Amino acid sequence: MKTLSLKLFTRILFVLFFLTSINIFAHCDGLDGPVVKAAKKALETNNVNLALIWVDQKDENIIKDAFIKTMKVRKLNKDAQQLADYYFFETLVRIHRQGEGEPYTGLKPAGRDLGPVIPAADLSIEKNSFEPIQSVFLKAGKPTEEIQILFTKVMNLKNYDPNDVDAGRKYVKAYVAFLHNGEEIYGMVSDDEKN
């Protein structure tokens, strides 16, 4: 009986972990997500370094090649620009997800419901204030110590030189850890605790 209960408990934990992991990965593949935002900024400024921070060093040449092709094609006309830009977005997101060991399932539309944690975490970073994410955790009755440590790390790495790809990657790593852990901690809140 105890073995069955342990197996069932393990399966439930695995499913919960899988489900809470989906949102963080889904955030990165959205047209309004941080990876596509970085790709847009890279194309606007003709600076591939802004996109390279989202991929491993070993994959830099794939992104650089896609960037060069995109920059050439987007000069042709408006339709070519839109198609080329989308190609670059897809390539960057696909390689980013591959680096995280996750499958690429296409770009997702902007404006999706990402739950309370991701928008609050992004808002905290944007406003340089712990308050938005703290509010979400306090409302759910969750401790904020761990998430505050992760937030502080993100903020300490946020103002890196845009041409320092290594520093940018450190920021991205801290950012992903902040969001992922926030989702995981918040996901452990039961429906009873939320109400």
**160, 171 Cβ separation under 8 angstroms:** yes
Who wins on pLDDT, 194 or 39? 39
**105, 27 Cβ separation under 8 angstroms:** no
Q: Tell whether 103 and 122 lie within a shared domain.
A: no
Cα(23)–Cα(68) distance, integer angstroms: 31
Categorize the per-residue pLDDT at 8 as very low, low, confident or very high, splitting at 50, 70 and 90. very low
Residue type, 122: D
What tens digit of pLDDT does each residue of 64-106 get?
999 999 999 999 999 999 999 999 999 999 999 999 888 889 9
Q: Tell whether 44 and 62 lie within a shared domain.
A: yes
Residue 30, both tokens: 């959205």
**92, 63 Cβ separation under 8 angstroms:** yes
- Domain edge (last residue) among 66, 93, 112: 112
DSSP 59: G
How many structural domains are present in the chain? Answer: 2
Q: Tell whether 40 and 58 lie within a shared domain.
A: yes
- The H or E element that residue 103 is part of is none
What tens digit of pLDDT does each residue of 108-142 get?
999 888 889 999 999 999 999 999 999 998 988 87
Q: Tell whether 148 and 96 lie within a shared domain.
A: no
